[in-house]
Each structure stands twice: as C-alpha cells, then as structure tokens.
Amino acid sequence: MENPAVKTTRPSSNISEILSRFSKACKLRSFDVFPSESTDVRPDSNDPCEETKDKLGGTEICAENYKPSKKNRTFCGDDEISKLFDIVSGLKLAYVQFQKAHLPYDTEKIIAADNLVVSQFEELCRIKRQCKKTKLITKAKLDSSRLDRLKEEIDVKERNLEKLKAQVKSKDCEFQFLLEELHCLIAMSNKLDEKLNQNSLEIKKIDMWRFPNISSLESVFQAASKSIHDFAKPLIVLMRASGWDLDKAAGSIVGEVMYAKKSDKKYPFESYIARRMFQDTNLEPCNIYDLTRFDDPLDALMAFPDSGFSKFCRQKYLLVVHPSMEASFFGNLDQRGLVLLGKHPRTIFYRIFAKMAKWVWILETIAASLDKKAKIFVVRRGTRFSDVYMESVEQLLLGEGQADLTVQFITMPGFKIGDSTIRSRVYLSEMK
C-alpha cells in the first residue's frame, strides 16, 4: 500500500539566506540527524521562565524567554543585554528545531520553526533599534548638558571679560592722567632748568664783573671788537645812501692801501671808530655791575643818567659822529642837540652806538681793575708783523713769508696787563 503523497512547503529563499548568514556568523556546526539517532535538545532547567512544550520532536522550548519584556526598555542596560543573550540562545534552539524538522520532513514543524526563527530576528531588530534610539537620546542629553556647561562657562568668561574691559578703561584713564601730569612735570622741569641755567649764567656774569680775570677780559675784548664791526655796518650804509664817496673816505682815514679784496674796504671805517672810541682814554676802575643788569643800554642810561657810562656815551658820540655826517644821514642835528643837553635819544642808530660804547667802556674798566698800570698800545703803519702783539683781521697764511708782511692800520688796539698781552687787531699787506 502506497503512502499518501505529502505536500511539501519550502521556506522562502529570504529565510534560507538569513539562516545561512546566521549560521556563518555564529559559527555553528550543522547537526547530523539520522533516523537511527534521536537528539533531544532542551533548554536549561535553571531558566526562570515557564517551559512550553513544542511538538517538534518533543523538545521543550522556553517560549516566554523570547518575547520582549516591557520593563527596562528606556535604555540598553544590563537587563537588555541579558535579554539579548537569551534571544540569541533561543535563536540557536529554533535553528536546531528547524533542522530536525527536515528529517523526517514535516511541513508543519518547518513552518513553526521558521516562524519562531523570524520572531527571534524581529526581536533582535527591535532591541537594535531601541538601543540605537536610546544611544541617540543619551547622546542628545549629553550634548545638551555639555552645551549648558559651555554656555555657563561662556557666561562666566563674558562677565570676566567685561570686568577686564572696565579695568582696562580705568587704567587708560589713569594712564592719560599720568601722561598729562608727566608732560606738566617735564615742562616745569624744563622751565626750572632754564631758570637754573640763567641763574648760573647770571652768577658767572656777576663773578666775571666782580672778580674779573684775563679770561673774562679776552671775552669782553672779542665782544667789543664785534660791537665796533656791528656799528660800522649801518654807518657805511648811511654814508652810501647819503652820497658819500666811500673810497675817498677810506683813503682819508688810512691812506693808500692795497686791499686783498674789495670787501676789505670796510676795515678802514672800523679803524676810524676804534681810534675815536679809545682816544684820550684814562683807564680807571668803575662799578660795572649796575650796567650789566640791563640788556638794553638805553635803559641803563635812563636809570643812571649821571653815571660814568652816561658821560662816556655822550663824549664818544660827539667824537665818532661828525656833525656833517649826522646832517647828511638824518637831514638835521637833533640827536646831537639832545646829546649836548645831556640826554640820550631813543633811536635805532643811537641804540646801536650805545651797545658798542657799553662793551668798550666795560673793556677799559676791567683792564683797569686787573692792573692799575694797564696800558693800551697801538701799532704804527709799516711795522713788521709779530704774532706776539698782533692778530690779523684776515686769516692770512702766515708761514715762511710772515717776515714780508707789514701793518697797514689797526682795527682794535691791544692791552698790556701785567705780564699778559691781548694782541691788537691789524690789517696786513706785503712789504714793498
């Protein structure tokens, strides 16, 4: 009697592929099931879940062990990991039942085992999604808490930054105040330095006037020589403007002279002024301190109208400025008339003259103070040049031809003070 035909139902190819991949992943050995052998695979007797008997070969399978628990699903903790291992174990058992259902071939058992395997895979996927979602939530919470901490740190840093800005602003204001104060102190210091220098100069001047020496006499000699040169300039200008023949005027002063250059024709007029200023001079010591306190000699003349310096100015002006010269310069003799009356006109011309007279008078006074027997000496024309008693107004090359140079005229007389000599200034030319 023939056995009735059994209708076989094969699982889908997708299930077979899943089982094949799972078998490779778990590295399970295939079970060799033969008709002569019976293999019973039972779950662990210590499993706390209820045991449910399946009709597949009489093997007991813990069905409740494979259903997901509603507890502890909020995160992948120890319970979820333990359940994951249980599901993997149940999946292994379901795979064993799936193999046993093929020998002998039982369609219903194959379908039941297949459904059980699929349910285990679905549970695994659910746990995977839950863990992934929990991981994202946890990460978001961590990011949120980290962001909150960063915001708190930023707030603290911003508050500290505002404090530092306020401190910097305060320091800037303090710096500006100190800088202005420093500038004020520097200005005050400069003023004090100037005042101190002025005081020291005044002290030196006072010492020089009260306690003169040869060095101070030489300085005054240079100042007097320069003042004569300065007065000769406006005198020559006025003479030229008045129509004077300067060549004839120079010749009438020093005679015929061979000048090294045309500009040297100013020296005869300086010689004329020096002769008049030092003419009939009696060297007598006088008090020059009152005169030196004034920068403008006219102020000194107004303050001390009866002083020796005032008399000296009146006398020398009448000698230096001839009436014909003054009349040609100014068209009148008003200044001369005031001087004859014992007054001092406040004109530019007379002020320049008074400055010259001041230094000449100081020179004569200091010389007399240093030596009561001090003498003024002049050098005659034609005298052979000697650098002991003479100084050339022009810086000639005085070398081997020095003996061939002779004096034509002087522009400043010399002084003999004890053993010291202040050389006279002369204009030289070659001896014929």
Mean pLDDT of 296-321: 90
**Residue 198 has what pLDDT?**
67
Contact 293, 384 (CB under 8 A): no
Tokens representing 43 are 């779950």
Residues 121, 220 within the same domain: no
Label residue 204 by pLDDT band (50, 70, 90).
low
**Residue 266 has what pLDDT?**
92
Residues 228, 135 within the same domain: no
Residue 254 has pLDDT above 60, yes or no: yes
How many helices (DSSP H) and strands (DSSP E) are in the chain? 12, 8
Dist. CA 399–CA 378, nearest whole Å:
24
pLDDT in tens, 165-187: 999 988 989 999 899 989 999 99
Mean pLDDT of 206-218: 72
Residues 365, 218 within the same domain: yes
Total number of domains in the chain: 2
**Sequence-separated (6 or more) residues with CB below 8 Å from residue 339:** 314, 317, 318, 345
Tokens representing 366 are 């200091």
Residues 238, 360 within the same domain: yes
pLDDT in tens, 380-404: 998 888 888 999 987 644 444 555 7
Chosen domain end from 346, 369, 392: 369
Residues 121, 238 within the same domain: no
Label residue 11 by pLDDT band (50, 70, 90).
very low
Evaluate whether residue 166 is within a structural domain: no
Domain region containing 86 = 13-32+39-141
**Residue 41 has what pLDDT?**
39
Residues 264, 131 within the same domain: no
Residues 221, 339 within the same domain: yes
Chosen domain end from 106, 141, 176: 141
Contact 95, 117 (CB under 8 A): yes
Residues 125, 237 within the same domain: no
Average pLDDT, the chain: 77
Evaluate whether residue 377 is within a structural domain: no
Mean pLDDT of 310-317: 92
Residues 221, 361 within the same domain: yes
Residues 220, 324 within the same domain: yes
Evaluate whether residue 420 is within a structural domain: no
Evaluate whether residue 204 is within a structural domain: no
Span of 186-195, 212-221, 396-405, 413-422 with lowest mean pLDDT: 396-405
The structure's pTM equals 0.53
Residue with tokens 């005679």: 255
Dist. CA 93–CA 41, nearest whole Å:
8
**Sequence-separated (6 or more) residues with CB below 8 Å from residue 237:** none
Evaluate whether residue 135 is within a structural domain: yes
Residue 42 has pLDDT above 50, yes or no: no
Mean pLDDT of 355-379: 89
Residues 229, 86 within the same domain: no
Contact 216, 208 (CB under 8 A): yes
Residues 136, 251 within the same domain: no
Mean pLDDT of 77-84: 72
Dist. CA 240–CA 259, nearest whole Å:
20
